[in-house]
Chains A and B, each alone.
Chain A
Amino acid sequence: MSNHLLEVDNLHIEFRTRDGVAKVINGVSYHLDPGETLAVLGESGSGKSVTAQAIMGILDMPPGVITNGEIRYEGRNLLTMPEEERRRLRGKEIAMIFQDALSALNPVYSVGFQISETLRRNEGVAKDVAMKRAVELMDLVKIPAAKDRLKNYPHEFSGGMRQRVMIAMSLAQNPKVLIADEPTTALDVTVQAQIMDLLAELRRELDMGLILITHDLGVVADVADRIAVMYAGRIVEHADVHSIYAKPAHPYTQGLLDSIPRLDSKGHELSTIKGLPPNLLRPPSGCAFHPRCPMAQQVCQEKVPPSLNLGGGRTSACLFAEEILHG
């Protein structure tokens, strides 16, 4: 067994609801090492957040059921760990930030209270010390006049500043892994770039592993080391950033790349991937992407493509991966 810091291994998750059983995660595997950034990419509903929630142990169960797989942190399987032990890892070893900081922060407590809360409750730090630390954290994420804003409430901050508060809060216990679930989706474009830069900088300074969940391939090029592309609860392609940008090895990744707006494409029509993501209550047979795949053949409807090892840590779950890459 390889020794990664964090390893998701053949994870299967389904949601059992009144409408039926939705198989939402169907054998996801990815890993993260200290200090690196993994971007998890995919359309809405592909299972990025559910996987992250399973790592954090904050999945809604029920209706969610983890039917198979392991999530190992420093070699220990989180899924079989006693809840109390697992809770101590949350925030301290693995922390998470969310998309909409306004709803993700508690509206009735000051940001100082919320940033210092884990220090006071989980680490037994005295209140005044914890508050000082909160100011340091707010300085770290570059909130101006941090000390004066300690007593402010989340609704008194701008969207970008609020997301910084959330980041400061997640860093309170010096986690080794930070999961950022679409941290910039709710923000203006200029603010998006600032937050993304901040995350990259913090990752470097604090030597954290960063899992960056996004559906925007454009933003990851500068910050990510590796990319895992998800589709219908599977990792369809995984590779380092340069390889993927140079030559995708899966038609879905190709489609995503083609849909990035580029400066030189002004006036040209952006190509987007045709069709809708599959209904996971009744997923397509064979390759889940086949109804939308420009390269689909008859065999794609019959055979579920295995994850093919293309060398150099690169994988693709397409029956024609070799042809795409070398053809």
Chain B
Amino acid sequence: MLRYIIRRLLQMVLAFFGTTLIVYYMMFQASGDPIQALAGEKPVNEAVRAKLTAEYHLDEPFLVRYWYYVKGLLTGDLGNSLSGGRPIAEVLAERWPTTANLALYAFIFVVILGVGAGVIAGIRRGGIFDNTTLLLTLVVIGIPSFVLGLTLQLGLGVKAGIFPVTYMEERDGQFGLILPGFILGSLALATAVRLTRTSVAENLRADYVRTAKAKGLAKRRITIVHVLRNSLIPVVTFLGIEIGNLMGGAIITEGIFNVQGVGFELKKAIDIEDGPMVVSIVSILVVIYLLANLLVDILYAVLDPRIRYE
């Protein structure tokens, strides 16, 4: 087990350097003039050019510059935003909690509603509950999430007035994030239902369930201890990977409800071509993906003893 975790950690470190190198290269090198890439399409005067050159070590070779960038990333020193000149780390520290909160709501919906409904549907396969949820998941999977988002915003927000139409932190607090969270999680929720349902139904037919019955175990015990434990292995994998996806997806949902999180900041940075900000956000997202994957791999090994010794 320990060896497995160490190996996964090493793999993660490699993946970290690989992806950040690509991001860094694409941002500053592929476009020719790194200063222009940093500053966007605005003309750059000599003073700014000199300042940027010093700040980003542009007179050094590429790999050295990359090293400074990684060091900054790991120590939380992300440089300054081109607009307003505030430290990027400070801006993001302000924005991340909102985005993380939004993703957390989505995740809770996915786990409780998605996995819960999937388990019930899998156990009562072919029943009314199963057929209804299956139909609903088809609808959700079929509709692009921004359409679903706008529809629910109109229906539950504008018409019914249950949820705020746009989010204002001071006014709405946590409550305002529920509807955006649900919309953000909807696709993953539908997928979780289907995946869980299939997995549960498959495991219910497995040979080891027949053995458990022959042992005289109570039905409840067979379902909870034997079937669910096995069924949830692929579901946990899916959920772990979704953590990263939800963070990324939050950026789009934030736009619909005007939630001022990282997505809001990223969109602004792209609009005004604030290169350092874009690179920082993308890099942090990459790290989140990698951490989520590591978590999944470890959880997977905990849940499935066959993985540990491969």
Residues of A in contact with B (beta carbons under 8 Å apart): 56-58, 87-92, 95-96, 98, 100, 103-110, 117-118, 121-122, 153, 155-156, 166, 169, 173
Q: Are B214 and A56 in contact (CB under 8 A)?
A: yes
Identity of the chain A residue whose Cβ is nearest the Cβ of B215 in the assembled complex: A91
Identity of the chain A residue whose Cβ is nearest the Cβ of B303 in the assembled complex: A108
One of B213, B221, B303, B305 near A153 (C-beta < 8 A): B305
Collect the chain B residues with CB atoms within 8 Å of residue A121's CB.
217-218, 221
Taken together as a complex, chains A and B put the C-alpha atoms of A91 and B213 apart, in Å, by 9
Q: Are B212 and A106 in contact (CB under 8 A)?
A: yes
Collect the chain A residues with CB atoms within 8 Å of residue B213's CB.
56-58, 90
Known: A107-B304, A153-B305. Is A58-B230 also a contact (CB below 8 A)?
no
Residue-wise interface mask of B (195-228) relative to A, using a CB-CB cutoff of 8 A (1 in contact, 0 not): 0000000000011101111111110010000100
Taken together as a complex, chains A and B put the C-alpha atoms of A156 and B309 apart, in Å, by 9
Q: Are B217 and A58 in contact (CB under 8 A)?
A: no
Collect the chain A residues with CB atoms within 8 Å of residue B305's CB.
107-108, 110, 153, 155
Taken together as a complex, chains A and B put the C-alpha atoms of A117 and B305 apart, in Å, by 18
Collect the chain A residues with CB atoms within 8 Å of residue B212's CB.
106
Known: A108-B229, A153-B305, A155-B306. Is A103-B208 also a contact (CB below 8 A)?
yes
Collect the chain B residues with CB atoms within 8 Å of residue A107's CB.
208, 230, 304-306
Q: A90-B213, A90-B216 are in contact. List 9 more A-B contacts (CB 8 A).
A: A56-B213, A58-B210, A58-B214, A95-B214, A95-B215, A106-B226, A107-B230, A108-B304, A109-B229
Known: A58-B213, A103-B207. Is A87-B229 also a contact (CB below 8 A)?
no
Known: A153-B305, A153-B306, A155-B306. Is A104-B217 also a contact (CB below 8 A)?
no
Number of interface residues of B (CB under 8 A): 22
Taken together as a complex, chains A and B put the C-alpha atoms of A110 and B308 apart, in Å, by 14
Collect the chain A residues with CB atoms within 8 Å of residue B217's CB.
117-118, 121-122
Taken together as a complex, chains A and B put the C-alpha atoms of A103 and B210 apart, in Å, by 10
Identity of the chain A residue whose Cβ is nearest the Cβ of B203 in the assembled complex: A106
One of B207, B229, B309 near A98 (C-beta < 8 A): B207
Residues of B in contact with A (beta carbons under 8 Å apart): 206-208, 210-218, 221, 226, 229-230, 233, 303-306, 309
Q: Are A98 and B306 in contact (CB under 8 A)?
A: no
Q: Are A108 and B216 in contact (CB under 8 A)?
A: no
Collect the chain A residues with CB atoms within 8 Å of residue B211's CB.
98, 104-106, 166
Q: Are B208 and A105 in contact (CB under 8 A)?
A: yes
Identity of the chain A residue whose Cβ is nearest the Cβ of B206 in the assembled complex: A103
Collect the chain A residues with CB atoms within 8 Å of residue B214's CB.
56, 58, 90-91, 95-96, 98
Interface residues of B, dominant DSSP: helix
Q: Are B215 and A106 in contact (CB under 8 A)?
A: no
One of B208, B216, B218, B309 near A106 (C-beta < 8 A): B208
Q: How far is the CB of B229 from chain A (nearest CB, A)?
A: 6
Taken together as a complex, chains A and B put the C-alpha atoms of A156 and B305 apart, in Å, by 10
Collect the chain B residues with CB atoms within 8 Å of residue A109's CB.
229
Q: Are A98 and B218 in contact (CB under 8 A)?
A: no
Identity of the chain B residue whose Cβ is nearest the Cβ of A172 in the assembled complex: B215
Identity of the chain A residue whose Cβ is nearest the Cβ of B304 in the assembled complex: A108
Collect the chain B residues with CB atoms within 8 Å of residue A89's CB.
216
Taken together as a complex, chains A and B put the C-alpha atoms of A56 and B213 apart, in Å, by 9
Identity of the chain A residue whose Cβ is nearest the Cβ of B214 in the assembled complex: A96
A-B pairs with beta carbons under 8 Å apart, 28 shown: A56-B213, A57-B213, A58-B213, A89-B216, A90-B215, A91-B215, A91-B216, A95-B215, A96-B214, A98-B207, A98-B210, A98-B211, A98-B214, A104-B208, A105-B208, A106-B212, A106-B226, A107-B304, A107-B305, A107-B306, A108-B229, A108-B305, A109-B229, A110-B305, A118-B215, A121-B218, A121-B221, A156-B309
Q: How far is the CB of A89 from chain B (nearest CB, A)?
A: 7
Identity of the chain B residue whose Cβ is nearest the Cβ of A93 in the assembled complex: B216
Collect the chain A residues with CB atoms within 8 Å of residue B226's CB.
106
Identity of the chain B residue whose Cβ is nearest the Cβ of A84 in the assembled complex: B218
Taken together as a complex, chains A and B put the C-alpha atoms of A155 and B304 apart, in Å, by 11
Q: Are B207 and A104 in contact (CB under 8 A)?
A: yes
Q: How far is the CB of B166 from chain A (nearest CB, A)?
A: 47
One of A100, A117, A155, A173 near B207 (C-beta < 8 A): A100
Collect the chain B residues with CB atoms within 8 Å of residue A104's CB.
207-208, 210-211
Collect the chain A residues with CB atoms within 8 Å of residue B221's CB.
121
Collect the chain A residues with CB atoms within 8 Å of residue B304's CB.
107-108
Identity of the chain B residue whose Cβ is nearest the Cβ of A173 in the assembled complex: B216
Q: Are B216 and A122 in contact (CB under 8 A)?
A: yes
Q: Are A87 and B208 in contact (CB under 8 A)?
A: no
Known: A108-B303, A108-B305. Is A117-B216 also a contact (CB below 8 A)?
no
Q: How far is the CB of B302 from chain A (nearest CB, A)?
A: 10
Q: How far is the CB of B120 from chain A (nearest CB, A)?
A: 20
Collect the chain B residues with CB atoms within 8 Å of residue A110's CB.
305
Taken together as a complex, chains A and B put the C-alpha atoms of A96 and B215 apart, in Å, by 8
Identity of the chain A residue whose Cβ is nearest the Cβ of B308 in the assembled complex: A153
Identity of the chain A residue whose Cβ is nearest the Cβ of B230 in the assembled complex: A108
Q: How far is the CB of B306 from chain A (nearest CB, A)?
A: 5
Identity of the chain A residue whose Cβ is nearest the Cβ of B306 in the assembled complex: A155
Taken together as a complex, chains A and B put the C-alpha atoms of A109 and B230 apart, in Å, by 10
Q: How far is the CB of B201 from chain A (nearest CB, A)?
A: 14
Collect the chain A residues with CB atoms within 8 Å of residue B309's CB.
156
Collect the chain B residues with CB atoms within 8 Å of residue A95's CB.
214-215
Identity of the chain B residue whose Cβ is nearest the Cβ of A53 in the assembled complex: B210
Q: How far is the CB of B216 from chain A (nearest CB, A)?
A: 3
Taken together as a complex, chains A and B put the C-alpha atoms of A283 and B288 apart, in Å, by 63
Taken together as a complex, chains A and B put the C-alpha atoms of A58 and B211 apart, in Å, by 9
Taken together as a complex, chains A and B put the C-alpha atoms of A155 and B308 apart, in Å, by 12
Taken together as a complex, chains A and B put the C-alpha atoms of A96 and B214 apart, in Å, by 6
Collect the chain A residues with CB atoms within 8 Å of residue B229's CB.
108-109
